[in-house]
Amino acid sequence: MNQDIKYGVGLMSGTSLDGVDAALVKITGYGENTQIDLLGFSNEDMDKGLKKEIKECCSPTTSSIDKICSLNFKLGYVFADAVKSVCAKAGFDLKKLDFIGSHGQTIYHIPKDKNHLNKSTFQIGEPSVIAYETGSLVVSNFRTMDMAAGGEGAPLVPYTEYLLYKCNKNRVLQNIGGIGNCTIIPADCSIDQIYAFDTGPGNMIIDEVVQRLKGKKYDYGGKFAAQGKVNEIVLNELLNIEYITKNPPKTTGREQFGKEFVDNFLKKYNNLKSEDIIATVTMFTAKSIEINYRKFILNKYDIDEVIIGGGGSYNSTLIDMLKGLLKECRVLTGEDLGMNSDAKEAIAFAVLANETLKGNCSNIIEATGAKERVVLGNITPKIRR
């Protein structure tokens, strides 16, 4: 086995806007010989003002060129501080860091040509700022090369999930961040046999509704949803949204299930109890996952394990809903396997950065729909001091 050892930090700022995840990892080897040791993890909270700026820049009705220009650099400093923080907490010398893999903050994502708009994607968080502030090489902008090759630029974590989770069982890795996405890893498979897609909303609608109705950042433990009753009529209307049953490859984001979606939803159903609304949108996430599984996964494989990661893994009401809907599968969280559910995606971008620096292709054609496998990411060199 190749014993090449590198130390990297993976950064992830997702669509749920619940903070910046930073994972400090020791990576031994690369490709199918990759081994990961998590040395430190932190979630750096975003203040209300920053979250407001991001939401404004994500919306066609409130964004502007000057706002996005400014936010790009502001987030660069936020990401650099997250790197410094995770290294300090782990007692790791920042100067020994080999690289940083930064996903960036998605501002807008157009997975397919639409009217006069080209398929495209836009992540910000200036890598030059991160490189200058930390003194480290930065790999960023992972999605664009896949899109140049004809893909949708997402999901990107399936490659790392294949490296880290393949075994002799049929597994589905289900991330529930702002958006839900799944990776199907058949038993003893080759990399060409895995596939992945976004199932629909994850925590995005739930969090936005809870913030508006309860003044909380999210539904901690799913306690509000547990107090409510699912409105079946409203649920069925939500499940009729075209994206839910659309064939893969498919990706979605805040542009479809963000602020404007919640504005219209709450205006239409303002007569319902707040707990019933929260219970209904929580079940919407669970049912959208189940529907996608039955339509695109369970008709092909008998799944042994569904492993939930991301912030949604801590919503026990959501997890109980999924267990009830997918009784034929063993539904687990990353913690059940001795892993950190929160750190999963940040770790993935450290692994992807390592693959980029080795010149290895790391997109999955069956996940993104690209015409070929390509090396992902742009490289910003470290500053010589």
Residues flagged as binding site for ATP? 14-21
CB atoms closer than 10 angstroms to residue 239: 15
Read off the DSSP letter of residue 226: H
Q: How far is CA 238 from CA 176, 201, 233, 270, in A?
A: 18, 11, 9, 15
In degrees to the nearest 10, what's the CA dihedral of 262, 72, 146, 366?
Answer: -30
The number of CA neighbours under 13 Å toward the Cβ of 285 is 34
Query: Which residues belong to the annotated binding site?
Result: 14-21
Read off the DSSP letter of residue 129: H
Measure the CA–CA gap between 9 and 320, rounded to whole angstroms.
33
Structure-token match 């400090």, residue found: 24
Measure the CA–CA gap between 229 and 235, rounded to whole angstroms.
11
The token duo for 192 is: 């060409």
Measure the CA–CA gap between 381 and 360, rounded to whole angstroms.
18
Identify the three-state secondary structure at position 280. helix
Nearest to 285 by CA among 341, 349, 210: 210
Nearest to 312 by CA among 290, 288, 282: 282
DSSP H or E segment with residue 152: none
Report CA torsion sign: 261, 263, 269, 273: positive
Q: Is the peptide bond before 155 cis (omega within 30 degrees of 0)?
A: yes
